[in-house]
A = this chain, B = another copy of it.
Amino acid sequence: MKGQRYPRTERAQLAMMLEVVSYPKPGNVDRCHDYPDTRLEHFLASIISARRGLERAEEHDGRIGEIFRQIVADTSWHGGGNTHFGAFILLVPLVMGGDIEGACREIRQTTVADAIDFYRAFALTGVRLFETDELDVNSPDAIDMLCERKMTLLDVMRYSAPRDMVAREWTEGFPLTKRAARLLHQSGSGCGAIVRMFSRLLADELDTFIIKKHGAAVAEETRRRAREVLAGRGRLEELDDWCISRGVNPGSLADITIAGIYVALTEGWEWDSSGRG
């Protein structure tokens, strides 16, 4: 069944669901792996609880920042911590705009009010950006600074882009999301295709979430190991064990994977490999 069959809200939820159940996805929560404080059911609960915010995005009911804040508020109540913050940064404009072109249009229209909402949403999650300057979301003066400098949400993403590949999707027209969707179309159907796409991204890109948490050397080591696996030297499961045992979690590539699945579904990609779907 094609992606157009179901509304954008379900399509976004389906993309998040397919990403989290696909196995093995080195270093990330999947149907066979939990982290001690964040388990499969936290991810799935976050997907379910995102419904109202996604519906608002689908219906264009509010500014992008307002919707973002609602989704983060609705999905941050469980004990698993932030699970989909980066994914929502990508999905909200995609659901509002319908496709990448529409998402870019939404992004260009963001305002200072959207930037403030984004910061307030961030404060709800307890996520740290590991930045130390005056625009750190944990800085008490950050919101004053946004107003003073008249920074829109797109400006905030421009500011983060050098260090954050999710922000770069906003500023550069979703290049990796497009690539992820293309890879999916070339990789068959179902969760197997998602694993192949994710492995390819892992072998080609440096995950900025890993860089923030563990430094560039660990991100490079992860990419090198993923390349070895794709070259037939080593198994994906071993790379998964290596990542999990070190807490190396390619979370930004997981966010981009979700956005790529969403776009691919919109383009008619077949998620259901059982053939009847």
Min CB–CB distance A12 → chain B (angstroms)? 10
The stretch of A75-83, A86-94, A100-108 that contacts the partner chain? A75-83
Q: A: which residues have CB within 8 A of B?
A: 1, 5-7, 9-10, 13-14, 17-18, 21, 31-32, 37, 39-42, 44-45, 47-49, 51-52, 74, 77-81, 190-191, 271-277
Min CB–CB distance A231 → chain B (angstroms)? 29
Question: Are A14 and B48 in contact (CB-based, < 8 A)?
Answer: yes
Q: Knowing A274-B80, A276-B78 touch, does A17 contact B45 (C-beta < 8 A)? A: yes
Question: Are A21 and B5 in contact (CB-based, < 8 A)?
Answer: no
Interface centre among A10, A44, A190 (most CB of B within 10 A): A44
**A127–B140 alpha-carbon span in the complex (Å):** 59
Q: Which residue of B lies closest to A9 (CB)?
A: B51
Question: Are A17 and B31 in contact (CB-based, < 8 A)?
Answer: no
Q: Knowing A14-B45, A45-B14, A48-B10 touch, does A272 contact B31 (C-beta < 8 A)? A: no
In the complex this chain forms, how many copies of it are found? 2
**A51–B14 alpha-carbon span in the complex (Å):** 12
Question: Are A40 and B13 in contact (CB-based, < 8 A)?
Answer: no
10 pairs, CB–CB < 8 Å, chain A vs chain B = A1-B77, A21-B44, A37-B274, A45-B272, A78-B274, A78-B276, A78-B277, A79-B275, A79-B276, A81-B276
Q: Which residue of B lies closest to A44 (CB)?
A: B17
**A209–B75 alpha-carbon span in the complex (Å):** 36
Question: Are B79 and A10 in contact (CB-based, < 8 A)?
Answer: no
9 new A-B contacts, CB < 8 A, other than A42-B274, A77-B277, A79-B277, are A1-B77, A5-B77, A9-B51, A10-B49, A13-B48, A21-B41, A21-B44, A32-B32, A41-B190
Q: Knowing A10-B49, A49-B6, A191-B41 touch, does A79 contact B272 (C-beta < 8 A)? A: yes
Chain B residues with CB below 8 A from A9, complex form: 51
**A39–B31 alpha-carbon span in the complex (Å):** 12
Chain B residues with CB below 8 A from A47, complex form: 48
**A180–B182 alpha-carbon span in the complex (Å):** 46
